[in-house]
Amino acid sequence: MKSTVSRRDFLQALGATMGAGALIAAGSGLGMMPAPAAATTIDHGHLGRSKRRIAVLGSGISGLVAAFELQRAGHEVTVVEASHRPGGRVFTVRHGDLIDEIGNRQYCDFDDEPHLYFNAGAARIPSTHLNILRYCRELGVELEMFINESKTAWIQDDNLLGGKPVRNGEYTANLRGFMAELFAKSLTQAELDAPITEGETESLMAVIRNFGDLDEDLIYRGSVRAGYASGGFLEHGSPREAIGLHELLRSPFARQVLQADEGETGPILMQPVGGMDRIVKGFVDQLGDRIRYRAAVQAVMMKSDGVDVTYEQGGKQHQLSVDYVFNCIPTHLLTGLDNNFSAGYLQALGHIRRGEAYKGAFQAKTRFWEQEDIYGGITWVNAPIKQIWYPTHGIHRRKGIILAAYDFGHGMHFTNLTQAQRVEDMLAQGEKVHANYRQQVEKGVTIAWHRMNHMLGCAARWTDSYRDLNADEAHLMDTLIAPEGGRHFLIGDQVSRHVAWQESAVLSAHRALATFSRQLEMAA
Amino acid sequence: MSSPLTRFCLGAGVVLALLQVPFAQGREPYDDFYCTTCHGAEGRGNVGVNAPRLAGMEPWYLKRQLQKFRDGLRGTHEGDVEGRAMRPMAVKLTDERIDAVIDWVGHWPMVSAPSTLGGDTEAGARWYRTCSACHGEQAQGRLELKAPALAGQNDWYLLTQLRNFSLGYRGQHPEDAEGAAMRAATAALPDEQAMIDVITYINSLDPAVSYAGRDE
């Protein structure tokens, strides 16, 4: 197998792959890491300087944060939640749980054990998300490490190596090798724009060699980083043959895998022990009977001296007259409620599109991945399932819950299928990675966020990509951030620049609380 | 240290907590009355998820459409995005459940949807002549022709449906006789502007007429 590469080869191969289909969405906001903010401090003395009646609509993380802080400051808080459960898109599925997808309701049949759960919504907490972490500390939510990338997990693509799965480590070691070889060649040939000393050139060359594990001739001839074909401990390890660059570039993962462990999804990531909804439970325990479940808001009517909220619960209409509203109901559902919002506010609400994310999971009868040296991380599959996640928790126990599909960007493929079709698709695509997958897994659950009752969407979509908002969009955002009529605060990751993270939900609530606090101060 | 009263209050508190805590054992009940999640408060429509007003639509029409969605006569074409979203909601409904849902939805008070289209009313009136044969002079609908009332409906929904009929996304199923008739009728509208104009004209009609005249 040819293991060196000419510059022309490389560019041609690159060009050929660039044209080959759409870039795979790499996950939620990969490579986009906001600067870690200092944890917000809330001055409860200020926030509670005069008591108010407050309705919090929706018990997603932002609603829970707002309710928790407002109650702590002494306000009279009522949380109105349409669903039977709190948490919004923080949703942990375990034994007996109802997955309330409209048209496809399921009860989860996982065995009843603490480690057999599935985080169907939020699943990772980066160490830079200081504010959600602060609540974990405060509410006594125990955390453990979450492993996002494993070099022993697989990459599977029908276009690559005849569809045979390859270890992430083998794929990336080869990719880095060829990249380094190319860099080394250009460094030796190129006239660099920037003046660079001989010493610096030497250092840079050393970096490049190390990056790609090149030999003394600056050629990539395979690397032990790709794993041994045999031996390695008691016998001398015999390295694997390098996978050719042309072969590597046949897969769009060439453009993606090096990034999976960088930025926001890079180390360190954490998860609550026992499920992400331990955070929700932490808040709910504090709020007690202030939360009304199965209470669907029907109307939000602004008055000069307050807000009237009408909700339906148990077949009856209830009226809640309050001074202020903190609202995390998804904007696309808010437009369907009776309201007297201003035209500009309604227009801004109507601008935001709803996300389509899809997740699925199986209970595994045995933790077969551990027999394949996998103890966490993500397998990338170039098919609608996109990802397989292996649980970091419950190591060496008999069973585990395996995430069998996660399409963050384009979940409508699965959403449009029946439950039986979804499960079959997850099996058919998964068994290309793991032999006997079909026999090893059972009790599939699926979550199509686009169809979840009282949700009808995943993370809000302000734009069709991760670009920053343009001037018009920024204006709409400002409109929604400002309290409507001075009394209606829209909160949630939906009014952030970084959707789909709990940290954004927390910060949106903190921002609203700060505004509210200033209003109270001015009124005093 | 605890008095009987304290113990009673604590006990009652625990019982209440058990009733309300969502982490409690036992399966959550559910029913089929979830139309409002998409179609808005009392079915008044929600442009945010492209779900039309149901409040005030004729029960016989709602029932027929639910049956069509369930039986695959509507909402199966690749191009019918909204129909495909609706169909799974109906697939699992038995005849009895459909009757129960219609009994609920069919009694929501009519609230006319706001106009959002600004076409040419006069041109629309001319186009509407073809429509009036089935849908009535005042777009009040005619049960005997299985043509629903149009006045007061969300105009964006009417436009989507006209497009769907015209493109064959709706009304293409061999057993959907009314759909086929409607699909044929859209041939009279040469382009999207004509569709917008005719809906603008429908917007100018009095929805109260159609509501008063609807057949229960």
Distance from CA of B185 to the nearest CA of A (A): 30
- Which among A98, A349, A450 is the nearest to B30, CB-wise? A98
Contact residues, A window 62-101, toward B, CB-based 8 Å cutoff: 82, 84-86, 96-98, 100
Poorest-pLDDT segment among A242-256, A362-376, A437-451, B190-204: A242-256
For residues A95 and A481, what is the distance between their CA atoms, to the nearest angstrom?
A: 39
Split at pLDDT 50, 70, 90, the class of B210 is low
Distance from CA of A454 to the nearest CA of B (A): 6
Distance from CA of B92 to the nearest CA of A (A): 7
- Which among A97, A103, A338 is the nearest to B91, CB-wise? A103
CB within 8 Å: A332 and B46: yes
CB within 8 Å: B88 and A104: yes
pLDDT in tens, A408-442: 888 899 999 999 999 999 999 999 999 999 999 99
- Which among B27, B47, B85 is the nearest to A335, CB-wise? B47
Residue ranges and CATH numbers for the domains of chain A are: 7-32+153-265 (1.20.1440.240), 44-87+278-352+467-523 (3.50.50.60)
Burial bucket for residue A350 (CB in 10 Å: 0-12, 13-18, 19+): middle
pLDDT score of B23: 43
CB within 8 Å: B16 and A289: yes
pLDDT score of A194: 64
CA distances from A58 to A252, B34, B73 (A): 39, 17, 37
Long-range contacts, stretch A183-187, CB < 8 angstroms, 24+ apart:
A183/A208, A183/A211, A183/A212, A184/A208, A184/A209, A184/A212, A184/A214, A184/A218, A185/A7, A185/A218, A186/A7
pLDDT score of B18: 37
pLDDT above 70 (res A9):
no
For residues B44 and B40, what is the distance between their CA atoms, to the nearest angstrom?
A: 6
Please give the residue that has the higher pLDDT: either A266 or B203. B203
B37 touches chain A (CB under 8 A): yes
What average pLDDT score do residues A484-496 get?
Answer: 97
Distance from CA of A395 to the nearest CA of B (A): 25
Residue B87 with chain A: CB contacts under 8 Å: 103
Residue A353 with chain B: CB contacts under 8 Å: none
Residue B21 with chain A: CB contacts under 8 Å: 284
Residue A82 with chain B: CB contacts under 8 Å: 37
pLDDT in tens, A14-42: 444 433 222 222 233 334 456 666 788 88
Please give the residue that has the higher pLDDT: either A334 or B209. A334
CB within 8 Å: B46 and A335: yes
pLDDT in tens, A267-287: 899 999 999 999 999 999 999
Distance from CA of A323 to the nearest CA of B (A): 22
Q: Given the structure tokens 């005249």, which residue do they identify?
A: B213
Q: Residue A98: how many CB atoms within 10 A of its CB?
A: 19
CB within 8 Å: A336 and B39: yes
Percent with pLDDT over 90 in chain B: 78
CB within 8 Å: B38 and A102: yes
Residue B104 with chain A: CB contacts under 8 Å: none
- Which among B21, B34, B47 is the nearest to A453, CB-wise? B34
Distance from CA of A320 to the nearest CA of B (A): 16
pLDDT score of A124: 97
Residue ranges and CATH numbers for the domains of chain B are: 35-173+183-212 (1.10.760.10)
A288 touches chain B (CB under 8 A): yes
Residue B34 with chain A: CB contacts under 8 Å: 102, 453
Split at pLDDT 50, 70, 90, the class of A485 is very high
pLDDT above 90 (res A489):
yes
CA-nearest residue to B52 within chain A is A336
B78 touches chain A (CB under 8 A): no
CA distances from B173 to A69, B65, B158, B194 (A): 56, 13, 20, 25
Distance from CA of A175 to the nearest CA of B (A): 39
CB within 8 Å: A298 and B25: no
CB within 8 Å: B34 and A102: yes
- Angle between helix A130-138 and helix A277-287 axes, rounded to 10 deg: 60
pLDDT in tens, B72-94: 999 999 999 999 999 999 998 99
Distance from CA of A450 to the nearest CA of B (A): 9
CA-nearest residue to B93 within chain A is A103
pLDDT in tens, A441-455: 999 999 999 999 999
pLDDT score of A191: 58
* A463 DSSP assignment: S
- Angle between helix B59-71 and helix B81-91 axes, rounded to 10 deg: 90
CB within 8 Å: B44 and A331: no
pLDDT in tens, A164-183: 999 999 999 999 999 999 99
CB within 8 Å: A333 and B46: yes
CA nearest neighbour of A384 among A158, A169, A90, A124:
A158
Please give the residue that has the higher pLDDT: either B11 or A466. A466
Burial bucket for residue A506 (CB in 10 Å: 0-12, 13-18, 19+): buried
pLDDT score of A257: 83
Q: Let me know the angle formed at the C-alpha of A80 by A76 and A84, rounded to the nearest 5 degrees.
A: 140
Considering chain A, what is the average pLDDT of its residues? Answer: 91
Long-range contacts, stretch A302-308, CB < 8 angstroms, 24+ apart:
A302/A339, A302/A340, A302/A341, A302/A484, A302/A485, A302/A487, A302/A488, A306/A53, A306/A487, A307/A55, A307/A485, A307/A487, A307/A488
Please give the residue that has the higher pLDDT: either B24 or A491. A491
pLDDT score of B41: 92
CA-nearest residue to A107 within chain B is B27
pLDDT in tens, A98-139: 999 999 999 999 999 999 999 999 999 999 999 999 999 999
Distance from CA of A339 to the nearest CA of B (A): 10
CB within 8 Å: A102 and B30: no
pLDDT score of B196: 98
A412 touches chain B (CB under 8 A): no
pLDDT in tens, B121-177: 999 999 999 999 999 999 999 999 999 999 999 999 999 999 999 999 999 999 999
Residue B47 with chain A: CB contacts under 8 Å: 335-336, 350
What average pLDDT score do residues A498-509 get?
Answer: 96
- Which among B26, B27, B48 is the nearest to A336, CB-wise? B48
What average pLDDT score do residues A180-190 get?
Answer: 84
Mutate to test the interface with B, among A289, A316, A345, A490 (most CBs of B within 10 A): A289
pLDDT above 90 (res A396):
yes
A472 touches chain B (CB under 8 A): no
Q: CA torsion A402→A406→A411→A417, rounded to 10°? A: -20
CB within 8 Å: A102 and B88: yes
CB within 8 Å: B88 and A291: no
pLDDT in tens, B27-54: 888 777 889 999 999 999 999 999 999 9
pLDDT score of A12: 53
CA nearest neighbour of A324 among A506, A82, A70:
A70
Distance from CA of B17 to the nearest CA of A (A): 7
- Which among A82, A86, A105 is the nearest to B22, CB-wise? A86
Percent with pLDDT over 70 in chain A: 91
Q: Which two tokens stand for residue B9?
A: 């209050």
Determine contact, residues B1/B13, Cβ cutoff 8 Å: no
CA nearest neighbour of B164 among B148, B144, B179:
B179
* A91 DSSP assignment: -
Residue A107 with chain B: CB contacts under 8 Å: 27
CA-nearest residue to B26 within chain A is A96
pLDDT above 70 (res A233):
yes
Determine contact, residues B32/B93, Cβ cutoff 8 Å: yes
Burial bucket for residue A255 (CB in 10 Å: 0-12, 13-18, 19+): middle
